Amino acid sequence: MNYLLDVLGSPIIAGVLMLMLFNLNTYQANTRMSSDSELQLQQNAKTLAGILNHDLRKIGYEYSDVPLIQADSQMISFYSDIDRDGTVDVVSYFIGGADEMPGTSNPRDIILYRVVNNDTISGPSLGLTSVRFSYIDQDWNNTTVLSDIRYVKVELWIESIEKVGGYYIFTYWEMTINPRNL
């Protein structure tokens, strides 16, 4: 009788152990994929922030008048010798629509355009879904008066390009830049 219980019980115990190992393997794979996606998301946010930081710090470089041409929540345009060649350039940043990003499954992806002297450079979306510029005066109050702007605040919302676990993971990046020439 004990022999019969051993023969019938051992496959059941082995099956339970196999299911546990299978579930552990699935969990580990999902966690690794989620972790990799989050790392990629953070790298994309850092890349976008680095590009904006580099250019916005140079607002007004080698320009003596009010360097800002246009400043609103979706666009910024300014004078600067951005490439340090002795010629003052016009640099603009603005966003495109979500319909301009057919290469990803995320329907909210947009492109941040960078225009230098009418030469448009549009890079990959990198998961960018929203950008907001705001402008601060010397007393840390929001302003829209171009000559009063001393700081530029940029907010970036970035989502994963593909779904992870049935939804798009996201991150938010905010930076306040004090261009020396404002």
Residue 162 contacts residue 104 (beta carbons within 8 Å): yes
Please say if the pLDDT value at position 102 is more than 70. no
Residue 172 lies in a domain: yes
Q: What is the pLDDT of residue 74?
A: 93
Give the DSSP H/E element, type plus range, for residue 120.
strand 119-122
Could you tell me which of 66, 71, 122, 117 has the C-alpha nearest to residue 95? 122
Convert the pLDDT of each residue in 70-84 to its tens digit.
999 999 999 999 988
Residue 128 lies in a domain: yes
Average pLDDT for 2-29: 82
Range of lowest pLDDT (21-25, 44-48, 121-125, 174-178): 121-125
Q: Find all residues with CB under 8 Å of 132, minimum gap 6, and list them.
A: 73, 74, 154, 155
Say if CB 48 and CB 158 are below 8 A apart. yes
pLDDT of residue 61: 94
pLDDT value at 28 more than 90: no
Q: Is the pLDDT reported for residue 134 higher than 90? A: yes
pLDDT at 65 over 80: yes
pLDDT score at 138: 95
Q: Is residue 21 part of a domain?
A: yes
Please tell me whether residue 2 adopts helix, strand or coil conformation.
helix
Q: What is the 3-state secondary structure (H, E, C) of 65-86?
A: CCCEEEECCCEEEEEECCCCCC
- Give how many domains the chain has, as a whole number: 1
Q: Does residue 94 fall inside a structural domain?
A: yes
What pLDDT is stored for residue 109 in this prediction? 87
pLDDT value at position 123?
Answer: 65
Distance CA 80, CA 67 (A): 7
Q: Tell me if 182 is assigned to some domain.
A: no
Give me the domain span that covers residue 147: 3-177
